[in-house]
Amino acid sequence: MRTGSAAVVLALAAAGCGGTRYTLTPESNTQTQENVISVWANWVKDKGEKFDVDLRVKNLSDKMQILYSDDITGSRGATTGTIKHARLGIGERTIDIAPGQTKSLVIVCIHDGEPSGDFVIRLGRIYDNPSGDRKTSGAVVSEGIEWRLAESTLE
- In this prediction, residue 91 carries a pLDDT of 54
Residue 6 counted as domain residue: no
CATH number, position 82 = 2.60.40.1150
C-alpha torsion sign, points 136, 138, 131, 67: positive
Residue 61 counted as domain residue: yes
The pLDDT of 108-129, averaged and rounded, is 93
Burial of 89 (0-12, 13-18, 19+ CB in 10 A): exposed
How many domains are contained in the chain? 1
Domain holding 78, by residue range, is: 20-154
Residue 9 counted as domain residue: no
Strands (E) across 37-118 are located at: 37-46, 50-59, 65-68, 72-76, 79-85, 94-97, 102-110
pTM for the model stands at: 0.83
DSSP at 152: G
Residue 32 counted as domain residue: yes
Would the pLDDT of 11 be above 70?
Answer: no
Q: Tell me: the pLDDT tens digits for 126-149?
A: 999 999 999 999 999 999 999 999
Predicted confidence band of residue 118 (pLDDT cuts 50, 70, 90):
very high
Q: Closest by alpha carbon to 108, among 50, 58, 48, 60?
A: 50
